[in-house]
Amino acid sequence: MLAILSVTFPFFALVLCGYVAVRRKMLPLSAIPGLNSFVLFFALPCMLYRFGAGTPITQLLDVGVLTVYLGVALLMVAITTAATLSHRIDWNNAAFGALVAAFPNNGFMGVPLLLALVGPRSSGPVILSIVVDMVITSSLCIALSRLGVGNWRRALVSALKGVLTNPMPWAIALGAITSAAGLALPKPMLQTVGLLADAASPVALFTIGAVLARSQMSTADPTPLREYVPVALKKLVLHPLLMWTVGHGAIMLGLPLERDALTVIVLVACLPSASNVALLSERFGANTGRIARIILVSTSLSFFTFSAAVAVFR
């Protein structure tokens, strides 16, 4: 267990550093969008490109991983929506609660953390999980959020446009093409990509903490515990248990899914909620304070739950 904590602790410590920097006003709130932009448009795409280019194309097109991960994501959306939809929580808030329960922080946190814990074989399953969550899970939940408003088609089109302008899927696709064609960038370009990719992990983790602190500072409404703690627990407990159960069931039924790949997507499911869901909820008029609290609780508890899951599942 100490060996696992020695790997996971620095990652969560960087999140804490970003949180403290904002709370102590060492980092101005106006600087956070710049950090986000650097990670989203420069560092993380370079990291994903490097992983995609260095991963065999068969791992990037793993039907077993895609089927199980997508199936569990849809289950999480259905269960969380059904459990939270009420007179206090409408379709808009239920849908974004479902998204924050089904969408792990696989980009900013999962890629570097699982690479350190599992090694290069984690790249393919993690990249597939990012594609599923950004393209399918997010678009589905945004469409569900509009059921009470009546313009779900417009919201779905807007979500798909957002996917097309997100550089991460394009970086993954370009890396996959490079891998399939056996191509390589010229050495000066490769070194530039490498420098940006190496910066992705520390800056992304620091930014997560800063975003969490900003969300907490800007949230004034007293959301009851019962409206956000159960969703955070679903993310940290139910999501990985469903992934493990469905994955093993799929293997027994003959689905081509390697056990190492199943372990990786189970650990992806153990990650806390993705911090960018708060930005989406704000854009579509949901209760961003509730979503921010779910993200904060899941991130805080995940230091213990994720480390325990690594000890059990790896």
Q: Give a three-class secondary structure readout of 107-124.
A: HHHHHHHHHHHHCHHHHH
At 78, which amino acid appears? Answer: A
The residues, any chain, with a CB within 8 Å of residue 213's CB and separated by 6 or more, are 18, 19, 20, 21, 22, 23
Tell me what pLDDT residue 288 has.
82
* HSE (side-chain half, CA atoms, 13 Å) at 99: 33
Tell me what pLDDT residue 149 has.
67
172 vs 51: CA distance, rounded Å: 8
CB contact at 8 A, 80 and 276: no
The DSSP string of 243-269 is HHHHHHHHHHTT----HHHHHHHHHHH
176 vs 180: CA distance, rounded Å: 6
Tell me what pLDDT residue 125 has.
93
pTM of the complete model: 0.86
36 vs 30: CA distance, rounded Å: 11
DSSP helix/strand/coil, 104: strand
The residues, any chain, with a CB within 8 Å of residue 118's CB and separated by 6 or more, are 263, 264, 267, 314
DSSP helix/strand/coil, 20: helix
Distance (Å) of CA 146 to CA 91, 139, 159, 239: 7, 11, 12, 25
> Residue written as tokens 């269960």?
79
CB contact at 8 A, 313 and 261: no
CB contact at 8 A, 101 and 37: no
CB contact at 8 A, 301 and 235: no
For the stretch 289-305, pLDDT in tens is 888 889 989 999 999 99
DSSP 27: S
What torsion, rounded to 10 degrees, do the Cα atoms 24, 236, 126, 312 define? 110
Tell me what pLDDT residue 4 has.
79
CB contact at 8 A, 118 and 110: no
Tell me what pLDDT residue 241 has.
97
Tell me what pLDDT residue 220 has.
61
For the stretch 44-86, pLDDT in tens is 899 889 888 887 877 778 999 999 999 999 999 999 999 998 8
209 vs 180: CA distance, rounded Å: 36
2-313 CATH, one of 1.20.1530.20, 3.30.70.2700, 3.30.420.40, 3.30.70.120: 1.20.1530.20
Question: Which residues of the chain are under the pLDDT cut of 50?
Answer: none
Tell me what pLDDT residue 150 has.
64
32-37: which pairs have CB atoms within 8 A and are 24 or more residues apart?
A: 32/207, 32/210, 32/211, 32/214, 35/203, 35/206, 35/207, 35/210, 36/207, 36/211
150 backbone φψ class: left, alpha, beta (φ>0; ψ -120 to 50): left
